[in-house]
Amino acid sequence: MQKKHNGLDIRSKIWLETDGEPVFGRGRRFLLEAIDIHGSINRAAREVGISYRKAWGHIAAMEKRLGISLVVRQAGGKNGGGAALTQEAREFLRKFESLEEGLKEFVDRRFSQLFHQENVEGGHVRRAS
């Protein structure tokens, strides 16, 4: 069970950049995951609270800066359009999630060592999301 120390929670955030420009972080991860769930950029954009146009902009910027295709788009028609993540996108998400988890583990451990080593049960601290 994770704990607080004197009311303190530990938070950490990671994102990727190229040439000082954001490429990928938590918000864009949520967008891709929503596309995967809904099969629609429009529905995914609504879910994460951004416009369709902004979602397209994020996707285009990520694909350009990463140099990989992330989303396969299907134009509308009789059955409507849709979108799906590429295999490269799924692999990228998996790696990013692993990176995030590793960072959280390191930060939790270091926080515990510095702020409340004696008050931690099982070496875990409470992490606020």
List the CATH number of the domain containing 77. 1.10.10.10
In this structure, the strands spanning 71-74 and 21-24 are unpaired
Residue 55 within a domain: yes
In this structure, the strands spanning 21-24 and 16-18 are antiparallel
Mean pLDDT for the chain? 85
* The predicted structure's pLDDT at residue 76: 66
Residue 122 within a domain: no
The HSE-up count of residue 27 (CA atoms within 13 Å, CB side) is 12
Q: Domain tally for the chain? A: 1
Residue 77 within a domain: yes
* pLDDT (tens digit per residue) in 40-87: 999 999 999 999 999 999 999 999 999 999 999 887 655 567 999 999
Residue 71 within a domain: yes
* pLDDT (tens digit per residue) in 25-52: 999 999 999 999 999 999 999 999 999 9
- pTM score, whole prediction: 0.77
* The predicted structure's pLDDT at residue 74: 80
Residue 56 within a domain: yes
Residue 72 within a domain: yes
What percentage of the chain carries pLDDT values higher than 90?
Answer: 59
Residue 58 within a domain: yes
* The predicted structure's pLDDT at residue 3: 41
Instruction: Please give the residue range of the domain that contains residue 21.
Output: 16-88
